[in-house]
Amino acid sequence: MSERLFIRLGKTSEHPCAWLVWSEQEQEIIASGELPDAHSLTSLTERVGNRPVDVLVPAASMTLTELALPEKGQRQALKALPFMLEESLASDVDSMHFVVGPRDGENINVIAVAHEQMQQWLEWLSEAGLKAKRIVPDCLALPLGQCRWAMMSVGDEYLLRTGEGAGLSLPKPWAEFAIPQLINHAKQDDADANINVANYSSDIVLEGVNLEAKPLELPMMVLAKGILQAPVNLLQGIYKPKREYSKHLLLWKNAAIITAVVIVMALVNKGLAIYQLDTQTAELRQQSEAIFKSVNPGVNRIVNIRSQMDSQLRSLQGQGGGAAFFEMLQGLEPAFTQVPKLKPNSLRFEANRNELRMQVTAETYAQIDTFKEIVAKDFQLDGGAMNSNEDSVISTLTLRSK
């Protein structure tokens, strides 16, 4: 069947759910709409029929990050991913579902989402009699359209895709502060490189990038076209759908018997694998140490691999702490509004200490003092020395949440 049902879920059951039925053959929308909450998904049951169901979920409900991981020994290294990300995530890694995305040179994209959140989404669909073929973070369904980035306005947020397997969801009040920092970070490796952005909305204005206007369509239409080429599907591992065999295949008894034998043999092999688990665990630790040394050739001695990994991970960009970073930026908005002549030169967020270091420029000392008085109401503030030149004053501020 050429028709497909696309659904965009919210983070909680109270959030609205958008849906759209698309005909691939006719290249047109059959029907679309928005449901008030997840409990209303049952109204789509009759629309499903035999149509495949593709589901989008909010990127704000998960962590999309990137790790430096060499291709050599990748299979063993992937087993150590939870340990490598343990200190960068707010939740216990045992409660998280990890999905590996596409590789870009020595870097590999990783998505971490709580098992509880995954189970909630699947429960809503199950209660409505819907079975998802794939579940994709909404920002990764934005078509890049031969651009480096892609961006679209959806309600009170922006969806931003910053690579084949990277992206995020930004509340619109945060975009003014966050996007310039993302652009500066992207240009660090190659200051002369231009960032072209596929623009799917009419209200997006960005400086420092080349906006390439794309046809203005319903947001769900844009995401529906992109989800089929999305690089990841969250339905992996324990969430991978079981195969459904045709009734006609059940008539082939011999094939069924052979399948049963194969399953029994697989169970036996599994039992042997469990028996060897202690040995394999020790080998995995040795392999992890070897991989760690290959990634960090300057390290000759490993005392506590987890602690040393944490130290190295803190130097990586784009890992964890994203929500805390944007919350701090939002808290700074009143101060920047009241002191418009004061501008940030650079921002650096230390996730492990929940600390934001900021260099600012103002026209006078008084403007910096006023800014510090406003900020001190909501943050612990350490002010550095203030230096002045002919027409400006520069200072470094360190902020921590109270």
Place of tokens 């959140």: 117
- Residue 349 pLDDT: 82
Percent of the residues in the chain that have a pLDDT greater than 70, as a whole number: 83
Whether residue 110 has pLDDT greater than 50: yes
Burial of residue 27, with CB atoms counted within 10 A of its CB: 0-12 exposed, 13-18 middle, 19 or more buried: exposed
> 227 is written with which tokens?
């989800």
> 28 is written with which tokens?
């047109």
| pLDDT tens digits, one per residue of 304-362 | 766 665 565 454 444 445 567 778 888 888 899 999 999 988 888 887 788 889 899 99
- Residue 351 pLDDT: 75
- Average pLDDT of the chain is 83
Count of CB atoms within 10 A of residue 358's CB? Answer: 19
Fold of 321-401: Gyrase A; domain 2 (3.30.1360)
Sheet architecture: strand order including 17-23 = 28-35, 17-23, 3-8, 53-57, 132-137
Alpha-carbon distances, residue 84 vs 76, 102, 336 (angstroms)? 13, 18, 37
Alpha-carbon distances, residue 211 vs 121, 129, 207, 218 (angstroms)? 34, 41, 9, 19
Is 23:225 a contact under the CB 8 Å cutoff?
no
Between 1 and 396, name the one with better pLDDT: 396
Between 249 and 180, name the one with better pLDDT: 180
| pLDDT tens digits, one per residue of 227-283 | 989 999 999 989 988 765 444 444 566 677 788 888 888 888 877 878 777 777 777
Whether residue 95 has pLDDT greater than 90: no
The helix (run of H) or strand (run of E) holding residue 182 is: helix 172-186
Is 143:222 a contact under the CB 8 Å cutoff?
yes
CATH class of 3-239: alpha beta
Q: What average pLDDT does the segment 283-301 reach?
A: 60
Domain limits of the chain?
Answer: 3-239, 247-317, 321-401
- Residue 287 pLDDT: 61
Whether residue 170 has pLDDT greater than 80: yes
Alpha-helical regions (H) of 251-321 = 253-275, 277-295, 305-313
Is 168:139 a contact under the CB 8 Å cutoff?
yes
Q: What average pLDDT does the segment 144-170 reach?
A: 92
Query: Alpha-carbon distance 54 to 229, whole Å?
Result: 12
- Residue 245 pLDDT: 47
Query: Alpha-carbon distance 13 to 382, whole Å?
Result: 41
| pLDDT tens digits, one per residue of 51-74 | 889 999 999 999 888 887 776 656
- Residue 190 pLDDT: 64
pLDDT grade for 398, boundaries at 50, 70 and 90: very high
- Residue 294 pLDDT: 47
Which of these ranges, 157-171, 322-336, 366-380, has the smallest mean pLDDT? 322-336
Alpha-carbon distances, residue 60 vs 167, 186, 283, 288 (angstroms)? 10, 21, 36, 31
**φ, ψ dihedrals at 306, nearest 5°:** -65, -45
